[in-house]
Amino acid sequence: MAERLHLPFAILSDEKLEFTRALGLPSFEVEGVGVLLKRTVLVVKGGRIVKVFYPVFPPEGSAREVVEWLKLQQ
């Protein structure tokens, strides 16, 4: 998926929800669909989570907020 979409970052697949449960990520259940994750941004550096953005609201401002934070880290 990351290659197809030309994303400059890795995508994590968590089909069995092992990562979700281990980190206690916010989720909710939808009847007939199963467990879905709430919007959350994890910034990972060197294999460690260095920043969590949650809740992601309003969603249209999230990317700008994350980019601004990343610029401050340089």
The pLDDT value recorded for residue 4 is 93
Delimit the domains of the chain by residue range: 1-38, 41-74
Concatenated DSSP letters of the chain: -TTTTT-SS-----TT-HHHHHHT--EEEETTTEEEEPP-EEEEETTEEEEEE-S--SHHHHHHHHHHHHHHT-
38 in Cβ contact with 26 (< 8 Å): yes
Each residue's pLDDT, cut to its tens digit, for the chain (74 residues) gives 889 999 998 888 899 999 999 999 999 999 999 999 999 999 999 999 999 999 998 888 999 999 999 999 98
The pLDDT value recorded for residue 11 is 85
Task: Please tell me the pTM assigned to this model.
Answer: 0.78
The pLDDT value recorded for residue 19 is 94
4 in Cβ contact with 11 (< 8 Å): no
Cα(3)–Cα(10) distance, integer angstroms: 9
